[in-house]
Amino acid sequence: MGRHKTLVVLISMQQEATPIIRALAMRSMKDPFGKVLRIKGFEKKIQNTRLIFIVQGIDPRFGVETVGTEAATLATQLAIQTFNPNLILNAGTAGAFASRGAKIADVYLSKGTCSFHGRRIPIPGYQEYGVGSYPLLNVSKLASRLGLKQGIISTGSSLDMTPSDKTQIEGSGATLKDMEAAAIAYVADLHRIPMFAVKAVTDLLDSKTPTSEAFLKNFKRATEALQKHLISVLHVCATSPLSAFSRRT
């Protein structure tokens, strides 16, 4: 209830978004940010909430989905400029540590702050800038209400993990590893818009199976789990008052 509000959900891959867009019967927006950027938009009204999905789209040069931080940054800035959201969500898939209790197709809400790994700038002040540690909305109540796990997310530019990435990710206390969340949190923080993430686990970072193989094998199961739980999350967000989104970690 309450005042009219806008909720933007940023998703990197179309295949992650399609099941949810179908289930919610969302309407496709025509080139929301112009034809050059192939970012896609979908919308639907839920009570007083305008729900908008932004999908990063296909890269014109390489013909693949524009996963990763650069495209996420671009899409987040444009979505904020165009739709002025009260709340931003990042939904998608992630790798996770079995040693921290994660299983394939588990759905997590973000926790704590969101950092980058693999950005090494060993100059005073720049070290911290590289890591980021951007604030996220505290969603512990939402997690317990919906029975979802919570975990810290670390974002990098690679699907695999070098030994130095591993040391850094483990040191940050992260359970989850993705390629967009910290970039989205960076832009959301610039604009002081609350943000959190919902991630389904496609691969276990501490298993012997190569990440790319596990990702492809488990992608469908993970996106089905994401669809189911994201819809519950969106329903709560759409029907909660704006004041529920003001407390950040």
- The Cα–Cα gap between 148 and 142 comes to 8
- The Cα–Cα gap between 21 and 18 comes to 5
Quick check: is 224 catalytic?
no
CB of 1 to ligand SAH, least distance (A): 34
Catalytic residue among 16, 43, 178, 180: 16
Catalytic residue among 70, 165, 203, 224: 203
Beta carbon nearer to ligand SAH, 215 or 248: 215
CB of 224 to ligand SAH, least distance (A): 15
CB of 121 to ligand SAH, least distance (A): 21
Quick check: is 16 catalytic?
yes
Beta carbon nearer to ligand SAH, 98 or 236: 98
**Beta-sheet pairing, 176-178 with 195-204:** unpaired
Beta carbon nearer to ligand SAH, 159 or 242: 159
With CB atoms as reference, the residue minimizing the distance to ligand SAH is 95
Beta carbon nearer to ligand SAH, 40 or 177: 177
* Torsion sign over Cα 13, 67, 44, 140: positive
Beta carbon nearer to ligand SAH, 179 or 234: 179
Residues at the site binding ligand SAH, with contacts judged by CB under 6 A:
12-13, 67, 92-95, 159, 177-180, 202-203, 211-212, 215
Task: State the Cα angle at 227 between 226 and 233, rounded to 5°.
Answer: 80
Residue 33 backbone dihedrals phi, psi, to 5 degrees: -120, 30
CB of 230 to ligand SAH, least distance (A): 15
Taking alpha carbons only, the member of 81, 164, 159, 155 closest to residue 122 is: 164
CB of 50 to ligand SAH, least distance (A): 25
**Backbone region of residue 105 per phi and psi (left: phi > 0; alpha: psi in -120 to 50; beta: other values):** left
- The Cα–Cα gap between 165 and 205 comes to 11
Of all residues in the chain, what percent are helix, strand and coil, respectively (each to 5)?
35, 25, 35
**Catalytic (active-site) positions:** 16, 203
